[in-house]
Structure 1
Amino acid sequence: MNGIPGWTIDALALSVLALQVPMALILLARLLPSLRRPAPLPPGIPDSPPLPGSVSVIVPTLNEAERIDPCLQGLHAQGSALREVLVVDSRSQDGTPEKVWAMATRDPRFRLVTDDPLPAGWVGRPWALHYGFLKSDPASEWILGIDADTRPQPGLVERLLETAQNQGFDLITLAPQFILQHWGEGWLQPALLVTLIYRYGAAGDPAAFPERTMANGQCMLVRRSVLECMDGYTVARASFCDDVTLVRQIAAAGFKVGFWDGRHLLKVRMYTSFGETWREWGRSLDLKDATPTPQLWGDVALLVLTQGIPWITVVGLFASAGMGVAFSLTEQLLLGLNLGLIAFRFGLLAGIRGSYQDPPWTFWLSPLADPLAVLRIVLSALSRPRAWRGRTY
C-alpha cells in the first residue's frame, strides 16, 4: 500500500494489538461489576414526614440568572427536613441576587450571602461552598451542596437523608439525569460522559480505593461533623474538580462515601451547544487536580486505546483492504477487537439512555464523537485552566 512493505503494516498492527488487548481486559474488569450495581434511587415522596436531622443547602452562584429559576423552585418544593438555603453569590452582575431576593420573600428558608473576595490560592466554587458552610446554621447536621444549573425534584432532600442514614454514609453524591436539547451537545456530551465511565465505572459502583472514588458536586450531601473534621472545603481549595478532590480526601480519611444514580431526583441542564460543552465541561473532566500523575496518564492511555482509536483503526484497516491489500491474521485480530470495542460502546450507550431526558437524535450517534472526546481529555490533561466562570486565575 503506497509503497509501504506489508511486514511494516503487520508490525504496526501487532504493536497496536499488543497495547489494546490488556487495556480492553482492564476495561471489561472495570465495567462488568456495573451489571450488579444498585438500581437508581427511587423518586422522593413529597411532604413525607421529616427524618431525624436537618439540612442546610449551599448554592454557589456567579451570574446564573438565566438558569437558576428551576433550581430555586425545586428547592422551594422540598419538605421540612430542609432548614435553610444559602445562595452564596460572588457579586453577580446579571440579576441573580434579585431572583434570590424574590424567592426569599416567598420562602423564609432562603438567604442571599455575598462571599468575601476570593482569597489567594482558592478557586471560586470551593471558596463559595466553604464560605456558605461557615455561615450555615450550626444546628444543621447535614450540608447539601447544589449547583445553580440543577433542577431538584420533589422529595430530593428526604430521599438523600434516608439513603445516607440507612446505608451509613457520611457523604453521598448523585449522578443526575441530563437534559440535552441542542444537536451538538447531544452528540458530544454522552461521549464525554463515557470517558468517566470507562475510567471509574457507573454510578453505584463502589470504589476499591479512595483515589478511584467518583463524585458529582452538583448534588453532594455531607455530614457537618465530617466537614468540621476536614476544615470545610479547604482540602479542595485550589482544585478545578473540587468535588472529586474533596470526596477522595474524605474517603481517604476513613469516612464512608457513596455515588448513586439519582436520575429520578435530580435533573440538570449544563450546557447549550457543542462549543460550550467542549470548552466548559471538557476542561475539567481529566480530574488531574484529584488524581496522582501515574493514574492520570494510565487512564488517558486506556481511553485512547479503548475509546479513542477503535473507529480510526477500523476505518484504516478497511481503507487498506479497499486498496487491494489482504488482511493478515494480525490485522484480522485487530479488526475483530476494534469492532468488538465499538459494539461494546453502542451497548453502553443503550445502558446510559436512562440518564438522559428525551435526548436529540444525535445522542445515538455519539460513539462517533469518541475520538474528539478523548482528544479533549488529553488536551485538558496537558493544561491548567486560566479562566473559569468569569474569573481569571
Structure 2
Amino acid sequence: MESFALLLIVLVQAALAAGLARDFSRAAGSPRIALSTVAAPFVISVIVPVLNEAERLPAMLRALLTDAAGVPEITEILIIDGGSTDGTRDVAEGFRAQEPRLAFVDVSPVPPDAVGKAWGLLQGASLARGDWLLTLDADTLVPPGLTRSLAAFAQQAGLDALSVATQQACTGWLQSMLHPAFLTTLVYRFGPPGYATRDPQRVMANGQCFFASRSALAASDAIAVSLSSLCEDITMARTLAKAGHAVGFYETDLPIEVAMYGSAAELWANWPRSLVMRDRYSNRAAALPFAQMILLQAAPLPLLAAALLLGWPLWFAGAQAVLVMFRIGVLFGTSGAYARRAASFWLSPLLDVPVMLRLLQAQFQRRLVWRGRVYARGRDGTITAMPDTKGR
C-alpha cells in the first residue's frame, strides 16, 4: 500500500513536470526587451496611481523624468492620487515645476465598489491622451530608455500589452529568503518570463510596469473589470487575453528596480493578497498551477528527507532528489531577479513549505485588508469594500 501511494505521487509529479518542462522550453531562447532609441510611432501617457507615497515618489519621479527627457512621444505624466494625507501632492507639485508634462490629479474618494489602484488607473485612462498607456507603481525605478524600448518591442512582437519582470530589492536576511520563495511560485505555476499568450489562464502580468494599447484596454473594458480585483494587473491581462489580445511578459536588458515591501513581515502579510491571482476568471483550471507549486516546488525536499529517514524505496528518493536539483537550478535562474539580496537568498527553498501554506490560506481567505481598507471576497473571486472603511 505504501509503495502504491509513493508510486502515485511520482506519477503525478512526472505528469506535472512534463507540463512545466513545456513552459521552460517555450521560454528558452525567448527575446528580451532590448534598448531602443527609436522614437515611438504613437503618443504615450504615463499613469502613476498613488496613495501616501511621499517617501517613495521622489526617487521614482527622478528616474522617470530622466527617461522622459528628450522623448516627446511621452505627452503627459499623470500622478493619480486616491486620497493621500502625507504630502504626496506637495512632492508631485514640486516636480511639476521642472516638468510641465506632469500633472497631479486627485480622484478621491475611492468608491466603495472599487479597489483604489484600479480606480486610479481607470480615472487616469479616462484623462489620458496617449495611444498607449504606461502604468507604473510609485516604488518602480525605471532606467533611461525604457519607454522607447517598450514601444519598439511591442511593435516588433505585435503585442497589445506587455509587462516586465522587474528586479527586486530585498533588505535583511529574512526578506531575502522569503521573497524568492514567493517569487518562485510564479515560475512553478506559469513558467519563466519570455512569452505572449491569448489564454486567460496562462497569462502573466506585472502591474509595477505595464504597457498597453489604450484602444485595446477600452475595447475590452479591462480596467473597469479590474475594479473588483485585488490583483488588478492579472485581471486586466486576463480580460485583454479573453478579448483576443496578445499579452506578453518579458525580461529586459534595462533593469527596473522595485522595492515592494519594507520588511519580511509586511511581505508575508500583503503579497499573498495578489499573488494567489484569484479573481472573476479563477476556476477549476487554476488548481493545476497550484498543484505544480505544491508537488514540484514545496514537496520534494521534505519528501526526500522522509524517504531517507524512513527507508522508503530508492527509486522514490531518487525522483525527489531530481526535483530538488531542479529547484536549485530555478534558484540560480531567479537570482538575476534581485538587485539587492542577502546571502540567505540561497536558503530560500527552506521556506517553500510555509510559503505554500500561506498561499493556500490566502486562496480561501474571505476577509482581506489592504491599504487601510477591509474587503470581502465573494465566491466568484470578486471583492467588495466593507462599510465604513477608508483608504485604498
Q: Same fold (TM over 0.5)?
A: yes
1:334 partnered with 2:316: yes
Unaligned runs of 5+ in 2: 376-392
Conserved 8 A contact 2:60-2:140: yes
Residue equivalent to 2:42:
53
What is the CA–CA distance in structure 2 between the aligned matches of 1:232 and 1:112, rounded to whole Å? 24
- 1:281 partnered with 2:271: yes
Correspondence for 1:3? none
1:24 lines up with 2:17 in the alignment: yes
Partners of 2:300 and 2:324 within 8 A in 1: yes
Q: What is the CA–CA distance in structure 1 between the aligned matches of 2:143 and 2:325, rounded to whole Å?
A: 34
Residue 164 of structure 1 pairs with residue 164 of structure 2: no
1:131 aligns with 2:113: no
2:170 — aligned with what? 180
Gaps of 5+ in 1: 1-7, 322-326
**TM-score of the pair, normalised by structure 1:** 0.89
2:198/2:246 contact within 8 Å kept:
no
The answer for the alignment partner of 1:110 in structure 2 is: 102
Partner Cα distance (1:232, 1:311) in 2 = 40
Separation (CA, whole Å) in 2 of partners of 1:162 and 1:384? 42
Task: Tell me the distance in 1 between the aligned counterparts of 2:151 and 2:22.
Answer: 32
Amino acid at match of 1:373: V
Residue 101 in structure 1 maps to residue 93 in structure 2 = yes
Q: Report Cα offsets for 1:287-330 as digits up to 9, x if no partner.
A: 11154321222222221111111111112122224xxxxx4xxx
Kindly report which structure 2 residues correspond to 1:136-285, keeping only aligned pairs within 5 A, or say none: 136-137=128-129, 140-207=130-197, 209-231=199-221, 233-262=223-252, 264-285=254-275
Is the partner of 2:194 in helix, strand or coil?
coil
The 1-side partners of 2:126 and 2:281 are apart by 27
Question: How far 1:279 sits from its partner (Å)?
Answer: 1.2
Please give the alpha-carbon distance, in whole angstroms, between the structure 2 residues aligned to 1:348 and 1:32. Answer: 14
Superposition deviation, residue 157 in structure 1: 0.9
**Equivalent position to 2:353, from 342, 360, 371:** 371
What is the CA-CA distance between 1:88 and the residue it aligns to?
A: 0.7
Show the counterpart of 1:352: 334
Within 5 Å, give how 1:374-385 maps onto structure 2. Answer: 374-385=356-367
- For 1:252, give the aligned amino acid: K
Match for residue 5 of structure 1? none
Mapped to 2, the partners of 1:232 and 1:11 lie a distance apart of: 47
Indicate conservation of the 8 Å contact 2:44/2:75, yes or no.
yes
Q: The residue matched to 1:371 in structure 2 has which SS?
A: helix
Deviates more, 1:147-156 or 1:352-361: 352-361
Q: RMSD between aligned alpha carbons? A: 1.9
* 2:354 counterpart letter in structure 1: L
1:303 to 293, 299, 324: 293
| Paired residues of 1:181 and 1:360 also in contact (CA < 8 A) | yes
Tell me the TM-score normalized by structure 2.
0.89
% of aligned pairs identical? 34
Deviations 1:49-80 (A, max 9, x none): 63221111111111112222221111111232
User: Are the aligned partners of 1:177 and 1:262 in contact in 2 as well (CA < 8 Å)?
Assistant: no
The one-letter code sitting in structure 2 at the alignment partner of 1:274 is: A
Structure 1 residues 21, 183: CA separation in 2 closer, same or farther (over 3 Å shift)? same
Q: Bigger shift: 203-212 or 53-62?
A: 203-212
| Distance (Å, rounded) in 1 between the aligned partners of 2:222 and 2:30 | 31
Rounded Cα–Cα distance in structure 1 between residues aligned with 2:259 and 2:145:
20
Secondary structure (helix, strand or coil) at the match of 1:206 reads strand
- 1:292 equivalent to 2:289? Answer no
Whose Rg is larger? Answer: 1
| C-alpha contact (below 8 Å) 2:51/2:81 kept by paired residues | yes
Greater Cα offset, 254-263 or 187-196? 254-263
Aligned length: 372
Amino acid at match of 1:54: V
In structure 2, relative to structure 1, the CA distance for the partners of 1:271 and 1:66 (3 Å cut) is same
